[in-house]
Amino acid sequence: MRMTSPRIRTTAFALAALAALAALAGGCDDPAPTRPETTAPRIVATTPVPGATEVYTTTTVTVTFSEPIDPTTVTILVNGVVRGPITVLDSVVTLTINNRLFQKLLYTAAVPEGVLDLAGNRMDSAYIWTFTTGWGPLAEEWTEEASGSSVRLNAVTHGSYDFLAVGDAKTILSSPDGRAWLRPAFQPVADILNAAFPIGDRYVVAASPGTVLASTDPFNWTEDRLPDSIANLYDLWVAFDGIYMVGTGGTSRTEGMVVRYQSPTSWTSVNLGPDLVPRSIVSFGGGFVVVGDSGLVFTSDDGVGWDDHSFAKEWGSLAKVRYASQTGMLIAVGSAVVTSTDGINWTEQTPKSASLLRDVGWTTLVVGPALHELYCVVGDGGQILTSQDLATWAAQASGVSTDLFGIARGLVPTRFVVVGDGGLILTSE
């Protein structure tokens, strides 16, 4: 028998071991089996945090998940509505509010069930939390705009498309947005333009000396000078049977007057009495209310017969009256803010002051199924006051000490425009 040497046996064993190791190493090229990812995504953080208060009304709402999610499966609702575009970056979802939330209101935010992660795992229950807004920038943060004018601007209004501001020294200004202002080439004969009223995309203006201006658009106007018996026209209201205006005139030119104007050849006037200065008129409930200096208040059912319901002479003056049809409330401003449902009985909502309030405006915001009002009053010394209920008023910082005479509200975007002395124009949205 032939014998194998120990050296040969050792070599053969080593070769076999190397072959086995090579085979084992080759097996490592195959992937090891992995377990499927089955954990559903969950929400780990939100902004605003649950229960937050004084939240900015233009806040962005963010939701952070425990892992990246499928962007096509997620949405954020605020009071049941998607209020702007949603972006998704890995695990963070951001809702950018495109119409500001209402001030001082409790909101409910929700992420509906059905959110999927990248592995297809599903969040099976909705995530819901609440937060409360604070005072937002609407009527709180004001920006001064370039008007191109240095004279007193007495009034501003908003038609179907444009803002219109009028003032002293024959001034008419027009703007599509309240920020960029243009002056038409038309130069009225009347020197002081006191008030403007929109009729769709047209306007009517009351002026001193007693003059009526009418436009076909903000840049083209006609003008009608009334007889000398009408000295000044301070405010106007367009009703179904004509344009009603208030001012002074008569034989002494200091008597309170109400003028109903239908055309240059068709107009009538009512003399309210001597030494009366009516400043503003509004229609409500089929009738009219006029307010003015020294607490003057007159009411009429037909615009012809007028009843005197004036405050005591020492009470103070009323510069403007307007009717909030959505609440059925007359609002007059002057030495104070006063309100009434009938034009006869008035409730004082702010303390009397020697610094006059000059105009009032408001906006209606829709929050879910509910309507909410924000009232804004402007006046002398840069005063701006806001209220949601006409009873509680908060002073806002206008950033100016200039007297403010008029306020108007545009719709898209919701924006207040205020005008004042020295060509001042302020905007807030």
User: What does the alpha-carbon distance between residue 337 and residue 209 come to, in Å, rounded to a whole number?
Assistant: 29
Higher pLDDT, 202 or 365: 202
User: What does the alpha-carbon distance between residue 219 and residue 196 come to, in Å, rounded to a whole number?
Assistant: 14
- Identify the CA nearest to 184 among candidates 205, 200, 160, 199: 205
> From the CA atom positions of the chain, what is the Rg in Å?
35
Q: Rounded to 5 degrees, what are φ and ψ at 220?
A: -125, 125
User: What does the alpha-carbon distance between residue 244 and residue 77 come to, in Å, rounded to a whole number?
Assistant: 47
| Alpha helices, DSSP H, located in 244-385 | none
Which H or E run includes 22? Answer: helix 6-27
299-313 pLDDT tens trace: 999 999 999 999 987
- Residue 37: per-residue pLDDT: 81
User: What does the alpha-carbon distance between residue 59 and residue 53 come to, in Å, rounded to a whole number?
Assistant: 12
Predicted model pTM: 0.73
Q: The sheet that has 202-208: what strands, in order across it? A: 192-199, 202-208, 211-217, 220-225
- Does residue 365 carry a pLDDT above 70? no
- Write the single-letter amino acid at 1: M
- Residue 416: per-residue pLDDT: 94
Token code pair at residue 133 = 């807004």
Percent of the chain past pLDDT 90, that is, above it, reads: 74
Adjacent-strand bridge partners of 196: 205
User: What does the alpha-carbon distance between residue 396 and residue 376 come to, in Å, rounded to a whole number?
Assistant: 10
Average pLDDT over residues 205-223: 95
Neighbours of 329 (CB within 10 A): 17
| CA 243 to each of CA 14, 233, 256, 309, 360: distance values in angstroms, whole numbers, following the listed order | 115, 12, 17, 23, 21
User: How many residues would you count in the chain?
Assistant: 429
The alpha carbon dihedral of 343, 349, 352, 355 has a sign of negative
Average pLDDT over residues 260-274: 94
Neighbours of 29 (CB within 10 A): 6
Angle (CA) 45-48-53 rounded to 5° is 135
What distance lies between CA 292 and its chain's CA centroid? Answer: 28
- Identify the CA nearest to 397 among candidates 385, 380, 410: 385
39-58 pLDDT tens trace: 999 999 999 999 999 888 87
E-strand stretches of 153-241? 153-158, 163-167, 171-175, 192-199, 202-208, 211-217, 220-225, 230-239
- Identify the CA nearest to 173 among candidates 417, 372, 428, 429: 417
Domains in the chain, start-ordered, CATH in brackets? 43-133 (2.60.40.1220), 143-428 (2.130.10.10)
User: What does the alpha-carbon distance between residue 141 and residue 200 come to, in Å, rounded to a whole number?
Assistant: 29
DSSP string, 50-86: TTEEEE-TTPEEEEEESS-B-GGG---EETTB--S-E
Token code pair at residue 103 = 């001030």
- Residue 312: per-residue pLDDT: 82
Residue 373 near residue 388 (C-beta atoms within 8 A): yes
When pLDDT is cut at 50, 70 and 90, the band that residue 234 belongs to is: very high
Average pLDDT over residues 263-284: 95
Residue 359 near residue 319 (C-beta atoms within 8 A): yes
- Write the single-letter amino acid at 60: T
- Does residue 246 carry a pLDDT above 50? yes
Average pLDDT over residues 106-119: 95
- Residue 98: per-residue pLDDT: 81
- Write the single-letter amino acid at 173: L
Neighbours of 264 (CB within 10 A): 13
Mode of pairing for the β-strands spanning 127-133 and 52-55: parallel
Average pLDDT over the chain reads 89
- Identify the CA nearest to 425 among candidates 153, 136, 139: 153
Residue 318 near residue 279 (C-beta atoms within 8 A): yes
Q: Look at phi and psi of residue 83 and say left if phi exceeds 0, alpha if psi is from -120 to 50, else beta.
A: alpha
When pLDDT is cut at 50, 70 and 90, the band that residue 7 belongs to is: very low
